């Protein structure tokens, strides 16, 4: 066997073991990724596309991720970055064309339930603000971690979250026992 042939066989073995390792990680983590993706995008279809794009990026970069302990954090960053690039490609007026919240004159009390009203509210947030809310209240990330992920200042994270909460209070009244 030539030197080149030996190198090719070694590469194939590395690829095969890397594939198996990636496949194992993917099976374990794709559920968590799609849940976050669903909250970010508001649509099952868009979430699937986002997760597939994220996993593809990770697959292509797998050999370069030397620290396997941080793959989850790497994957989350890739997911958020992919989502950001998607929303940046689309003009803000176009975003809602593909995923419009039905515009109807209805009060929050007309929703089936409080959680559904909150979800409707989250879906109507601009993409970056929605990302802040999902990362803060679903992923439980700190303001500094969110700022780092989204490439914005912690002050912006704080103001986006507080404005969203203020709007939420306005739109979804607290339950009687909380007043």
Partner 1 sequence: MNHEQLLREALAAKATEASVDLTLDDIRRSAGRRRWQTRRRVGAVLAVAAALVVGIPAAILLRPAGDGVSPAPAPSPTAPTTSSSPRPEGLDGIARGKDPQVAYLHGREVHQPDGTTARLPYGSSFVAGFTAYHGGWLLLDDLGGLRQYDNTGALVLRSQTGEAALAVSADQMRTAFVYGGHLRVGIATGMGQGESDLPVGNNARLVGFLGDSVVLNGYPDSPHVVDPGTGHTARVPGLEIAWCTAAGGDLVGGTVDSDGRGRVVSTSSARTLWTGDWVPDAFSPDGSRVLAVPVSSLNEPDEVAVLDARTGTVLARFSLAARDLAAAGRPVWEPSGDAVLFDVRETQGAQQAVLRLAVDGTVTRATDPAPLNGDAPGWVFATRP
Among the listed ranges 2-10, 70-78, 82-90, the one in contact with partner 1 (CB under 8 A) is 82-90
Nearest CB to partner 1, comparing residues 77 and 111: 111
Nearest-CA neighbor of 17 among 80, 63, 72, 66?
A: 63
Could you say which of 59, 143, 145, 148 contacts partner 1 (CB under 8 A)?
Answer: 59
Between 6 and 170, name the residue whose CB sits nearer to partner 1.
170
141-160 binders of partner 1 (CB under 8 A) = 152-153, 155-156, 158-159
Q: How many residues bind partner 1 (CB under 8 A)?
A: 77
26 binds partner 1 (CB under 8 A): yes
Give the separation between CA 108 and CA 97, rounded to whole angstroms.
23
Collapsed DSSP state (helix, strand, coil) of residue 159: helix
The sign of the CA dihedral 85, 90, 91, 93 is negative
């Amino acid at each position: 066997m030539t030197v080149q042939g030996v190198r090719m066989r070694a590469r194939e073995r590395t690829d095969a073991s890397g594939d198996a390792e990636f496949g194992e990680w993917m099976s374990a983590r794709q559920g968590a990724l799609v849940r976050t993706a669903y909250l970010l995008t508001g649509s099952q279809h868009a979430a699937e596309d986002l997760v597939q794009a994220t996993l593809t990026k990770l697959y292509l970069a797998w050999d370069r991720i030397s620290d396997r302990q941080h793959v989850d954090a790497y994957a989350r960053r890739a997911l958020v970055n992919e989502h950001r690039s998607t929303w940046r490609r689309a003009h803000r007026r176009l975003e809602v064309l593909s995923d419009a919240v039905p515009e109807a004159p209805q009060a929050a009390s007309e929703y089936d339930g409080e959680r559904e009203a909150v979800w409707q509210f989250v879906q109507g947030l601009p993409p970056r603000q929605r990302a802040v809310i999902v990362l803060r209240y679903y992923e439980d990330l700190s303001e500094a971690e969110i700022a780092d992920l989204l490439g914005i200042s912690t002050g912006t994270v704080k103001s986006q979250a507080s404005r969203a909460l203020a709007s939420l209070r306005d739109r979804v009244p607290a339950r009687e026992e909380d007043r």
